Amino acid sequence: MTIVTASNSPPEGVFVPVPTFFKSSPVPPALQAPLDVETQIQHSTHLAKNGIRGLVLLGSTGEAIHLSRAERYELLSGVRKGLTEAGFPDYPIMAGILVNSVDETLEWLADAKKAGAQWGLVLAPGYFGAAANQENLLEWYTLVADLSPIPILVYNYPGVTNNIMVSPETYTKLAAHPNIVGCKMSHGNVSHHVQVSLDPAIDHSKFRVYSGFGQQLGPIVMFGAAGVIDGLAAIYPRTVARLFELAVKRPVTEEALKEMQTLQFAVSRAEEMIVKWGIVGIKEGIYQVLKMGNLEGGRLPLKGRMPDGEWENWSVAMGAMEKFEQV
C-alpha cells in the first residue's frame, strides 16, 4: 500500500509513537541489551495493517536519547526496509529529533533522511527552558527549518523540556515557514490545540496539528486538528483509528456521535494506564495483548516492568478496549 499526501505534509489520522524494542540481555562486552529490530518491524507492520496512518520512531517513547547514533540509524533503516518488504514502501515515518544544539539537530535530521524517514519531529530545546523565550524559540526553529533536509514538525512536550510552552502566536509564525509542516502538542492545554487548529492565518492543508494524547482525540479533531500521536494505539490500533474516523467524518449523525462517545470514554479510561506507567506500561501492554517484545522494559533508568498484578488492575479498562479491537 502506498500513501500519497497532497503536499510534503504528513497525512491526517492516528500516528503511533512506538517504543524501541530491545533484546532481553546484553551481549558482552556491551553494557546494555541490543536493539530487537525484528520485533520492531513486526510491531510496525501490525500497526500499518490495522488502521494506523504512520509511525513516530525514536521519539520520547522510542528512547532516542538512550541510543547511539549507529543504533538510531539501524532502527530507522531497518523498519523502513521491513515495511517495504511487507508491502508498505512509502509508509509515513516521522523521526524524533531530541537534542538542543542546532548543529546536532541537523545531524540527526540528515541521518533520518538517509535512513528513510519523511519528516523530523523536532523537540523544543529545553535544557535551559526556564530561560527560553518565544523569540528565541522562533529563531531556533527557523534556523533548523532553513537547513533541514526533510520537513519538520514542532514537538512541544513540556514534561521533558523544563516546561517550555510554544505559544499559539509562535505557531502561527512558524507555520508560515515552507519547511515546517505541523506540530505535536504533548500537553493538556486543549485551548492551544483548538487555537492553532482553527487559526485562519494558518494554511491547515500544509500545517497539521497533532495531540500527544488520545484522551483529546474526539474533541480536538472535531475542531480542526489533524489527529493524534498516541501511545495507547501501539496496543489497540484499530480502536483508536476507528475513533478518529468517526471524529473526522462529516456530517456527524446521531448514531456516529453515540459510537464516538462510547469509544472516547473507553480510550480515555484506558489512557490512564499510559499516563501512570508511560513507556514501561506501553511495552507491557504490547507484550500482554499482542505477544510481542518482552517484559524487560526500556534502557536504564527505565529498565523493568510494572509490578506483579498491576496489569490485572486495569482489566476493566483494557477488557473494554480488547472487545472494541475485535469488532
Residue numbers annotated as active site: 184
Across 107-157, where does the E strand assignment appear?
A: 119-123, 152-156
The three cell numbers of residue 131 are 530561560
Query: Contact, 249 vs 76, CB < 8 A?
Result: no
Give the distance from CA 42 to its chain's centroid.
18
Neighbours of 77 (CB within 10 A): 17
The three cell numbers of residue 12 are 491526517
Burial of 3 (0-12, 13-18, 19+ CB in 10 A): middle
Query: Contact, 67 vs 36, CB < 8 A?
Result: no
Q: What sign for the dihedral angle of Cα 278, 283, 287, 292?
A: positive
Phi, psi (5° rounding) for residue 285? Answer: -60, -40
C-alpha 177/C-alpha 283 separation (Å) is 36
Q: Which residues of 113-138 are buried (b: 16+ CB within 10 A; e: fewer)?
A: bebbbbbbbbbbbbeebeebeeeebb
Across 103-221, where does the E strand assignment appear?
A: 119-123, 152-156, 180-185, 208-211
94 has which bridge partners? 56, 119
123 has which bridge partners? 155
Does residue 229 sit in helix, strand or coil? strand
Does residue 25 sit in helix, strand or coil? coil
C-alpha 5/C-alpha 296 separation (Å) is 38
